[in-house]
């Protein structure tokens, strides 16, 4: 019998370690991203786990080696780390390069890649980009967007864990939709009908009764048939729910703290990606301005002459105009809009007792787009049953959910942030499909 141990587990050499290794001979692996052959030899750019590494190999004595190298080969290389000054922002690190002694080919592609990895930005139509996603994501710019999303999710998790939140994992196959309506995917579940989760909302609220403060990072599904640059049908939701709040402003305050930590993490971790993407991170002021929906409509009317008074939501154009006004008047790229009408918000949203017909709810806008929806929830059992009936819903269909209310819940509220949309706004990417690894929309189910 052969025993397996973890004594030989090694992590790949990180870019920061390479910067400290000048003069050392090392062995590492990677994939050939591009090759630039010259009379004296070649520059070989390797794609590694944390960036692109520039390698140099002289032609003398290595002619046969260089002749057989092609893009997308997996290789193991041995060489000496040398100090360098590299201007290409896609290279990481740019202070050293690897002078190669040998290259061992581990695998070669069966066909030449149809994607030109030598360009600074992929010159592909978005449909082609998405059709070739397993390849297009190998480009450093495409990869960088996903690394930014990774940091945002990680910082969301770390910041909430530091504030006493417990991470939970909720079902994605459910007996009822959290948001209601027709925009829900139906699936056959053995001998009955079930639904893909539109939100972890019900389970978050149940979690408040268990842990007081909970969060989740996971997929949600919306069967909305639109084709826009701001919507996809499966996305990653950053959700939190917290108990013992004094009002929905407590939830907004937590979001400000979380976003501050997220942006700080990006500055600390993703300097390479942000520079390559030429991204300018938004600044969070000491306080984020908050206006009601009615005030938002009045501002839009004053600025454009277009009257949206009485509309239950913000139009895309309003979101853009309001963000411009927020930056101009309050110096904030972020803007809270509150008090959406009762009929526009889900049945679990608490109405404002001082402003009948409106809810204790909010959206957070960033750079012309809503990135967060949240608010205070109904915690009283009878009040929740009554509002379900007012919405034309049968409380008997929500008995599992209503157990939490029947047996007592503290005042609570929460929010949800779309990870792909937040990433797109931070990076000023117009189409959230480009901040999604493998997007799903009305027409796209592959790859």
248, two tokens = 């929905």
114, two tokens = 């149809």
Grade residue 178 by pLDDT with cuts at 50, 70 and 90: low
Query: For the residues 141-156, what does the mean pLDDT come to?
Result: 98
pLDDT greater than 70 at residue 62: yes
The answer for residues whose C-beta is within 8 angstroms of residue 427's C-beta and 6 or more apart is: 145, 148, 277, 279, 435
Query: For the residues 72-90, what does the mean pLDDT come to?
Result: 96
The number of beta carbons lying within 10 Å of the beta carbon of residue 354 is 7
What torsion do the CA atoms of 263, 265, 268, 274 make, to the nearest 10 degrees?
-50
pLDDT of residue 123: 86
pLDDT in tens, 333-350: 999 999 999 999 999 999
Query: For the residues 134-139, what does the mean pLDDT come to?
Result: 97
Grade residue 389 by pLDDT with cuts at 50, 70 and 90: very high
Domains and CATH numbers, the chain: 15-107 (2.40.50.140), 140-435 (3.30.930.10)
For residues 176 and 256, the model is more confident at 256
pLDDT of residue 383: 98
CB 231 within 8 A of CB 441: yes
The number of beta carbons lying within 10 Å of the beta carbon of residue 11 is 7
Grade residue 85 by pLDDT with cuts at 50, 70 and 90: very high
pLDDT of residue 179: 65
Grade residue 1 by pLDDT with cuts at 50, 70 and 90: confident
Euclidean distance between CA atoms 144 and 364, whole angstroms: 25
Euclidean distance between CA atoms 425 and 417, whole angstroms: 12
H or E element in which residue 388 lies: helix 381-390
pLDDT greater than 80 at residue 75: yes
Query: For the residues 109-119, what does the mean pLDDT come to?
Result: 91
**Average pLDDT of the chain?**
95
pLDDT of residue 140: 96
φ, ψ (nearest 5 deg) of residue 407: -100, 15
314, two tokens = 């913000």
The pTM (predicted TM-score) of the whole model is 0.95
pLDDT greater than 80 at residue 214: yes
> Among 116-130, 246-260, 407-421, whose mean pLDDT is lowest?
116-130
Euclidean distance between CA atoms 81 and 55, whole angstroms: 9
């Amino acid at each position: 019998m052969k025993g397996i141990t973890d004594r030989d587990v090694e992590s790949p050499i990180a870019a920061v370690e390479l910067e400290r290794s000048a003069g050392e001979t090392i062995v590492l692996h990677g994939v050939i991203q591009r090759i630039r052959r010259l009379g004296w030899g070649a520059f070989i750019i390797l794609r590694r786990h944390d960036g692109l590494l520039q390698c140099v190999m002289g032609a003398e004595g290595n002619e046969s080696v260089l002749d057989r190298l092609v893009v997308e080969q997996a290789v193991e290389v041995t060489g000496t780390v040398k100090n360098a000054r590299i201007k290409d922002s896609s290279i990481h690190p740019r202070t050293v390069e690897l002078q190669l002694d040998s290259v061992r080919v581990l695998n070669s592609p069966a066909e030449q890649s149809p994607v030109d990895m030598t360009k600074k930005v992929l010159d592909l139509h978005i449909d082609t980009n998405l059709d070739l996603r397993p390849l297009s994501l190998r480009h450093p710019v495409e990869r960088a967007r996903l690394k930014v999303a990774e940091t945002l999710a990680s910082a969301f998790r770390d910041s909430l864990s530091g504030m006493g939140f417990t991470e939970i994992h909720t079902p994605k196959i459910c007996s009822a939709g959290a948001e209601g309506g027709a925009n829900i995917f139906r699936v056959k579940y053995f001998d009955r009908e079930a639904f893909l989760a539109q939100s972890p909302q019900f389970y978050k609220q149940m979690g408040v009764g268990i842990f007081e403060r909970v969060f989740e990072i996971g997929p949600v599904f919306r069967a909305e048939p639109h084709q826009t640059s701001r919507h996809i049908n499966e996305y990653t939701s950053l959700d939190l729910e917290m108990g013992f709040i004094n009002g929905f402003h407590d939830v907004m305050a937590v979001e400000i703290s979380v976003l501050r930590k997220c942006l700080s993490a990006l500055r600390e971790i993703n300097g390479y990606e942000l520079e390559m993407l030429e991204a300018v991170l938004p600044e969070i002021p000491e306080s984020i301005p908050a206006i009601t929906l009615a005030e938002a409509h009045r501002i839009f009317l004053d600025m454009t002459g277009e009257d949206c008074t009485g509309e239950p939501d913000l139009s895309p154009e309003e979101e853009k105009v309001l963000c411009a006004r927020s930056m101009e008047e309050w110096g904030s790229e972020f803007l809270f809009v509150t008090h959406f009408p009762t009929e526009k918000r889900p049945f679990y949203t608490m109405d404002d007792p001082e402003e009948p017909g409106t809810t204790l709810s909010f959206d957070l806008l960033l750079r012309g787009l809503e990135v967060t929806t949240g608010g205070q929830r109904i915690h009283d059992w009878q009040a929740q049953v009554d509002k379900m009936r007012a919405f034309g819903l049968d409380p008997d269909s929500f008995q599992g959910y209503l157990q939490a209310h029947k047996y007592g819940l503290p005042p609570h509220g929460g929010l949800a942030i779309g990870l792909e949309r937040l990433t797109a706004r931070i990076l000023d990417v117009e189409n959230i499909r480009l901040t999604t690894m493998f997007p799903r929309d009305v027409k796209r189910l592959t790859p």
